Chains A and B, each alone.
Chain A
Amino acid sequence: MSKETFTKLTATAAPLPIENIDTDQIIPARFLKATTREGFGDNLFRDWRYNADDTPKADFVLNNPTYTDAQILVAGKNFGMGSSREHAAWAIHDYGFKVVISSFFADIFKNNALNTFVLPAQVSDAFLAEIFKAIDADPHTPITVDLANQTITLANGLNESFDINTYKKTCLMNGYDDIDYLLSLKEEINRFDLAHA
Chain B
Amino acid sequence: MHTPTTLFDKIWDAHVVKHAEGHPDALFIDRHFIHEVTSPQAFDGLRKRGIGVFNVSRTTATADHNVPTKDQHLPIKEALSRHQVETLRKNCADFGIELYDLGHPFQGIVHIIGPELGLTLPGMTIVCGDSHTSTHGAFGNIAFGIGTSEVEQVLATQCILQYKPKRMRISINGKLGKGVTSKDIILYIISKISASGATGYFVEYAGDTIRSLSMEARMTICNMSIEMGARGGLIAPDETTFDYIRGRRFAPQGEAFEKAVDTWRTLKTDEGATFDRELDINAEDIEPMITYGTNPGMGIGISHHVPNLSEIPESELASYTKSLAYMGLEPGMELVGKPVDYVFIGSCTNARIEDLRQVAEFVKGKQKANGVEVWIVPGSVQVANQAKAEGLDKVFAEAGFELRDPGCSACLGMNEDKIPAGKYCVSTSNRNFEGRQGPQSRTFLASPLTAAVAAVTGKVQDVRAFV
Contacts and interface: CB of A to CB of B under 8 A. Distances in A.
A115 B150 contact: yes
Interface in B13-63: 15, 17-18, 22-24, 26, 28, 30, 37-38, 40-41, 44-45, 48-49, 51, 54-55
Interface residues of A, number: 55
B233 to A, nearest CB: 13
Interface stretch (B281-289, B432-440, B454-462): B432-440
Chain B, interface residues (CB within 8 Å), range: 35 or more
B3 interface: no
B197 to A, nearest CB: 10
Interface stretch (A6-14, A56-64, A102-110, A154-162): A102-110
B374 interface: no
A136 to B, nearest CB: 14
Given A25-B434, A185-B17, A193-B158, A35 B229 contact: no
Contacts of B161: 167, 178, 181-182
A130 interface: no
Given A47-B434, A179-B152, A192 B196 contact: no
Contacts of B51: 183
A108 B231 contact: yes
A20 B80 contact: no
A182 B84 CA distance: 28
B172 interface: no
27 contacts: A24-B436, A28-B439, A29-B436, A30-B413, A30-B414, A32-B65, A35-B40, A35-B44, A52-B421, A52-B439, A82-B431, A83-B131, A84-B145, A86-B41, A86-B129, A106-B196, A167-B161, A178-B161, A179-B49, A179-B152, A183-B156, A183-B157, A188-B18, A188-B26, A189-B17, A189-B28, A196-B28
Closest CB pairs A-B (n = 6):
A86-B147, A115-B149, A35-B40, A112-B147, A33-B80, A84-B145
Contacts of A47: 434-435, 439-440
B229 A106 contact: yes
Contact of B37 (A1, A32, A81, A107): A32
Interface string B339-350: 000000000000
Given A82-B433, A85-B37, 17 more contacts: A18-B318, A20-B195, A32-B414, A33-B84, A47-B440, A52-B421, A83-B431, A84-B130, A86-B147, A108-B146, A111-B146, A112-B148, A112-B149, A185-B17, A185-B159, A189-B158, A189-B159
Given A24-B433, A84-B130, A182-B157, A36 B44 contact: yes
A35 B414 contact: no
Nearest to B80: A33
